[in-house]
Structure 1
């Protein structure tokens, strides 16, 4: 009699369990040792600073039972994403209001997030890993937490030495939490959203940089937007008939190639003509990705309660979209607008590679 149970692979739990745990715990390991120092800088006595630091464990204790209910209700994956978002909120509370109550509240919220995050990973391994390897899997999980806490203080020390500010370290946890949300397919979605927004920023800047008259530039950008709009239904047809990859990958690669090509036309005598052609190309490439982020979110969301997952998934896209203009401005100020286009194109190629790897390979079954 053969064993029909699927074979367990350690590799199958590295990305969904161990990597997010390492990133989250590294952010915590950087921030938590700095909390008493920040508290004293804000005027706390040593006793009060110790109390504020202890709010992490108070938050964990308060969150243990609700975490079990939450994980059972929305699932391990959604709970992990929600915990990362709660940790971000806690850090922002501690940073935005430079008071001791805000610091204590932020650390307490981080404790709640830690309880949910830890239980979600624990519950997943308990149900997924075979009994014969359960102890090794869970001890490795504990080791990954410890690794993050071991490396975190060194990261904190380097950041304090570089910036001269203790509170700057708090942003490490924010970055780590976004890293947990953005794992796997979310990274590709964030990059897709970033390159789509980049087009709306780069084209006007480029027209100014090459000295194109404003009315001519507006006309070209309007034509590009019209082509983009005209393809929204065709994009849905492509995804429904051939699969999500056939919208995401050509669109991302098309936008990446367009941005990189534009970078080499700035000083050409025919730069206005090149700008017009590439603007039209970017509208075409962006048009065939219409609805892809919402569609992928709907594909991946749990059927029973999709709202928490979709909220986090939409935030991924919005994060990429919000970060793109800042990145373009930074690269343009440091180097040039040509360099910014090359960076955008490189990110588009990276996003296409990630989505090629992680988008599910299937076409929805047609009704007969």
Structure 2
């Protein structure tokens, strides 16, 4: 991987070490603040709603003021909001902190993903985005154990720890990543880049991605409450999430297997959702911690197959110079899911129980597996663009890091050809 990508992965590992406070937001509001399950779900939904403009702003700011500056801004905003939640003495202040956290929470995602997508050749993007997920999972292993420990003491310390790692990540990004310089956009390319939602291929990926994100958020935001309904400690969610993170890291070689690389994107995503359905079925049937840990490992295998393929596909669909805003538009699926998931999850738990909750999510996975075979596009557009790359850039696909960096920098200077608009 290019040096810029390696530094970004290291910084996000640091950030991820404390990033397990969000699953406990509903638990904090319902236990420490005395709110009902419905109120806790609505507060988490308010957080999720606030992440939608946050994600869109992150994509626009990344194209306007630069990737590095946008990442630092988002991380510092998250730290301030996390500290506000930890220090809140009333439900009103906790809600205010949750909304502020949502407004800052997604600012750093589009620029982070754009750096990866623009620094790595098309044929290696699935691998690069899988490594990005593995880096976050590596930090998540320590974070889950930390959550299991601090959560038994005081849930507010999870938010304090998260704030500290956000600030540490922001400092590392500011000092280690070179400043990126936005070049003046070419008129016709900029017009294409600002209208990602006019792209029918992207809209189909956004629709299935939103359904997947809704399922994923249940395994994060609703999991502590579901464990409590089974008579297990809510803090055991940290152990399940750590198991899932460890599986994501250890299973990385699966992405490089010949049979996996030969799969088309629709087939790979359909297979991934079948694996997800198996893991969620385990959640529905299991009542003891060991069985739940096994189900978490199975679930994470499907998650690994989804993440690399989905983000690589969106990057491939983007026009030259438009990857930041395409990724931001696709990322709104997480904001929509974060808005709906707490309400849906808490209502299903309150009126139907954990078995119905996880069974419904498994059924939705089976539906998505069938839909991917019918509606998910291939990335033919990106193949056409790669065929038009300069000879040096095409040869750099298998080149070592420094040569690849030089080739991508050469691409960045080709404003007239419409290649990357940022130089790192």
TM-score bracket, shorter-length normalisation: 0.3 to 0.5
Structure-1-length-normalised TM-score: 0.44
The structure with more radius of gyration: 1
Structure-2-length-normalised TM-score: 0.39
